[in-house]
Amino acid sequence: MTQYNWLEAINVNEDMLIKTKQRLPVIWISALDCTGCKEAFTRSFEPTTLDTILNFISLEYSELLSVASGDRVEAHKESIFEKYSGEYILAIEGSIPGSDEFLMIGGKSVREKIIHAAKRAKAVIAFGSCSAWGGIPAAGKNPTNAVDIRAIIPEEVPVALVPGCPPIPEVIIGTLLHVHFHGKLPELDKKLRPKVYYQTTVHMACHRKPYFDQKLFAESYDDEGARKGYCLFKIGCKGPTAFNACESMGYDRCISAGFSCIGCSERGFWDKGGFYGKRKK
Ligand code: SF4
Ligand code: SF4
């Protein structure tokens, strides 16, 4: 059961809701991604993605979700740079390949496209661990020499990182809505993550923490302790070092399902096992 209230989280009162405000223009560019972050964007419940798009943000461009395609949508994106210069949010999903030939959009490298779009953006928000830290494309031997968003964005452009693989849908929406209602990015921590969502570890809010405190642990995924819902620390749970809001917001899927936290919001999690590798304790 969720205990998340988006109005409280981003400090929005009813007066602010009632006042008509121009929707926040958002341009969403996908680089080396799996579309998982964008799929997460479509799945928010608090508020719903539909409410968000109809009332608060205007998704002007997304290779995956735009109605138009090809030259038309590319031309529309260029028109947004002019019309909403300094007002739109540039959302980035996926890491950026070191060599331009690995990913082109409309005949230009994705790197050029992002740098061009960032110049007149109000702020850049990196959604997902790929754009925030490099993610799976940068893992292992990093065959495309992928880098995170901060490696290519001009220093003067404000940047927020919203890591997770994918991030929690309501965290994606909440970060965008903060900009819509307050005109600026939410307060960020030292790693540029919105404090409201990343200020504590999964462990500190975990519903299994009472078992951790009593030293009651599952020793394997099918033992008696696992069946009783004991703490998963001894089978590799990364909750104690993972800063994310899954448990504090009540949107935990992994630990409730009996699977240990893989720390998907932390830098380098793919090299520490990702989804499929052997759990390292
Ligand atoms: S962060 Fe995860 S969900 Fe998002 S694009 Fe990367 S691999 Fe996909
Ligand atoms: S299951 Fe993981 S996050 Fe939860 S209390 Fe145990 S170690 Fe911490």
Spell out the per-residue pLDDT of the chain, length 281, in tens.
568 999 999 999 999 998 888 999 999 999 999 999 999 999 999 999 999 999 999 999 998 888 788 899 999 999 999 999 999 999 999 999 998 888 998 889 999 999 999 999 999 999 999 999 999 999 999 999 999 999 999 999 999 999 999 999 999 999 999 999 999 999 999 999 999 999 999 999 999 999 999 999 999 999 999 999 999 999 999 999 999 999 999 888 899 999 999 999 999 988 887 776 655 54
pLDDT for res 64 = 87
Question: Which ligand does the CA of 214 lie closest to?
Answer: 2
pTM assigned to the model: 0.95
- pLDDT for 252-272, tens place per residue? 889 999 999 999 999 998 888
Centre of ligand 1 to C-alpha 91, Å, is 14
Q: Is the CB of 31 under 6 A from ligand 1?
A: no
- Report how far ligand 1's centroid is from the alpha carbon of 227 (Å): 31
| Pocket, ligand 2, Cβ cutoff 6 A | 202-203, 206, 208-209, 212, 231-233, 237, 239-240, 255, 261
CATH 3.40.50.700 fits 6-196, yes or no: yes
Distance 58 CA to ligand 1 centre (A): 23
pLDDT given for residue 2 in this prediction: 63
Distance CA 48, CA 182 (A): 19
Answer whether 139 contacts ligand 1 (Cβ < 6 A).
Answer: no
pLDDT on residue 1: 52
Q: Which of the four CATH numbers 3.40.50.150, 2.30.30.60, 4.10.480.10, 3.40.50.2000 does domain 200-281 have?
A: 4.10.480.10
pLDDT at position 50, please? 97
Q: Indicate if 200-281 has the same CATH topology as 6-196.
A: no
Domain spans of the chain?
6-196, 200-281
Ligand 1 contact via 36 beta carbon (within 6 Å): yes
Identify the pLDDT of residue 277. 60
